[in-house]
Amino acid sequence: MNTACDLGYIYGTSCTATCDKGFTLIGAETKTCQRNKLWTEGDVKCSRNTCPQLTAPANADIRCSDKWLYRSTCITECKAGFRLVGSGTRSVTCRDDQTWSGVLSGCEDTSRPEFKTCPTVPNVNVDSGQTKAVVKWDVPVVDDNVDKAIKPKLTKGLAPGSRFPMGQHHIEYTAQDTAKNTASPCRFSFTVGKTSCPPIILGSQKLSFSCPRGFEYGATCTFTCVTGYDMLGENSTTCERNDSTALSGYWSNAPPICDGK
């Protein structure tokens, strides 16, 4: 605070108080020396100016050197995974007229979504007499730092629960958040095949067999002995499998024996 007196400090003198730039005078601006050798009553002081309190931009924090006071500088600190955007500035300073030197910039999401889960689908075989198989899997789950309900987009292949023809199939999902950040694709493959049993090998020329549907899963082959020979064992066998993913099957019965008595 600065003080200027017109007659020094004698009776009747008036002294005027002024504050430095950026400070506001609180109390009587002028005091007068009275006959009783005391100054007219009333405290006076200089108070440091303040600017309006700032609100942190979305996805950011504000750090200030001296709160909202004159000459305090405040900067925007983007949270992890975000960057400064917009026409504003990273830092502003409180001016003597109690206004900020500019507008703080906002922060934009730069983190890509991630697939929290990506299926692994085992190979599947068609059922007996079929050329297609139903293949199911759980839709991948996407995780993001901002958007919590991102739905993945199927960009390659058929949807789960579809009937897939025999052959190899490649499935791909992609995901994008509202800031247009794109996740690395979720990709997986599987094969739809047909279970088949090994060729039937006969140990005798007296025995023959017939397999109208070949050696595929579910096919039945029948055996016949030449005339004059008795069949010891089952007269047919069926191609079976342990589960729907097995490419190699097995015969339900071994070939019979033709016994000539």
- Which three-class secondary structure string do you get for the chain? CEEEECCCCCCCCEEEEECCCCEEEEECCEEEECCCCCECCCCEEEEECECCCCCCCCCEEEEECECEECCCEEEEEECCCEEEECCCECEEEECCCCCECCCECEEEECCCCEECCCCCCCCEECCCCCCEEECCCCCCCEECCCCCCCCCEEEECCCCCCEEECEEEEEEEECECCCCCECCCEEEEEEEECCECCCCCCCCCCEEEECCCCCECCCEEEEEECCCEEEECCCEEEEECCCCCCCECEECCCCCEEEEC
Residue 261 is predicted with a pLDDT of 67
- Confidence band for 183, pLDDT divided at 50, 70 and 90: very high
Q: With pLDDT > 70 as the criterion, what percentage of the chain qualifies? A: 100
Residue 133 has pLDDT above 70, yes or no: yes
Mind listing the pLDDT tens digit for each residue in 78-124? 998 899 987 788 999 999 999 999 999 989 999 999 999 999 999 99
Least confident residue range of 162-166, 201-205, 252-256: 201-205
Residue 103 is predicted with a pLDDT of 92
Residue 226 is predicted with a pLDDT of 94
Residue 235 has pLDDT above 90, yes or no: yes
More confident residue, 16 or 247: 16
Residue 188 is predicted with a pLDDT of 98
Give the phi and the psi of residue 82 in degrees, each rounded to 5. Answer: -130, 160
Angle at 9 between CA 6 and CA 12, to 5 degrees: 70
- Confidence band for 1, pLDDT divided at 50, 70 and 90: confident
Q: What is the mean pLDDT of the chain?
A: 92
CA distance 144 to 132: 37
CA distance 49 to 38: 30
Q: With pLDDT > 90 as the criterion, what percentage of the chain qualifies? A: 70
Domains of the chain: 2-48 (2.10.70.10), 60-109 (2.10.70.10), 114-193 (2.60.40), 207-260 (2.10.70.10)
Residue 29 has pLDDT above 70, yes or no: yes
CB 42 within 8 A of CB 30: no
- Confidence band for 146, pLDDT divided at 50, 70 and 90: confident
Least confident residue range of 85-89, 205-209, 211-215: 85-89
Query: Tokens at residue 200, please?
Result: 């039937």
Residue 116 is predicted with a pLDDT of 96
Average pLDDT over residues 150-176: 97
- Confidence band for 40, pLDDT divided at 50, 70 and 90: confident
Which residues have C-beta within 8 Å of that of residue 205, sequence separation ≥ 6?
Answer: none
Query: Tokens at residue 59, please?
Result: 């996805």
